[in-house]
Amino acid sequence: MNSAERIEAINKKLLKHRDPNARTMDVWAQVFGVDANHPHAEDWIGALQFGLRAELDSTRDRLVAQGVPLDLLSPAFERLRSTASPGHLYGKWGAHISELKEPVCTKVFQWASWALQGVDEADMDAGQLQGLLDQVVELQESIEHSDAPDALRAFLLNQIKEILEAIRMYPVRGMQPLRSAVESVAGSYALIDTKVIDEVKDASAENKSFVARTVEAVNKAAEFCGSAEKLKDTFMALVKTAPAIGKFVVELLKTTS
């Protein structure tokens, strides 16, 4: 699926919501697969909307670079970009649906999807993606309610947060956020604090299992986006720079591969 196809798919999902009195946040929550009643729903939806706006901008720039006149992409890109604003979340959906369903929008997104054929990237299996999301969310909740020491807890939760945000962003921006998240997580191991290393060495069996499960989740994410070898190289280098945790992580990687 290319970037324009992702945008078209999101617009189609939006158009399925026909109730003009629906709260706009509820519409976006369903489109993005977010629980509208979750305490962090507004933050998640806002982040995804900004991701969509960025995808709209980059896709428009790519089409223009291929020689497509800018006015041919109007007003479709501008209208969807304007709709994808956190400032509209508490308004009524009826203020947006009429403009997005006009042919000047739907036909432009269809045409853009066709125009970018040949720059597609492989799609992640929906079941595997949901499985990884469920696994990481459950792991996050387990660590948050554990007695893991502070430095180790923060270290693992930061990794999990990055992977979670990238998984949620996948339908909007594709593989790139996941690749960036894996690279960032790998970098966090390369720059690991000595306090975390000490806490891993002295960790209980349960807390060591959290490290193992986090490495497993990161490795799965790396495999999905084609970054598994880079991740492995980073962990192997860690054996030299921080042997105490490096050897531990490399052994974990072997069991999850």
d(CA 181, CA 163): 6
pLDDT of residue 194: 81
Give strand pairing partners of 240.
none
Record the pTM. 0.85
pLDDT of residue 248: 61
Asked whether residue 158 carries a pLDDT value surpassing 60, the answer given is yes
**Where does the pLDDT of residue 253 fall: very low under 50, low under 70, confident under 90, or very high at 90 and above?**
low
Can you give the residue ranges of every domain in the chain? Answer: 3-115, 126-256
Looking at per-residue confidence, does 25 or 190 come out higher?
Answer: 25
Choice among 13-27, 165-179, 236-250 with the minimum mean pLDDT: 236-250
Q: Quickly tell me which residue has 């079941």 as its tokens.
A: 127
**Where does the pLDDT of residue 249 fall: very low under 50, low under 70, confident under 90, or very high at 90 and above?**
low
Our CA angle for 229, 234, 240, nearest 5°, is: 135
Tokens describing residue 155: 């270290």
| pLDDT per residue as tens digits for the range 206-220 | 998 998 899 889 888
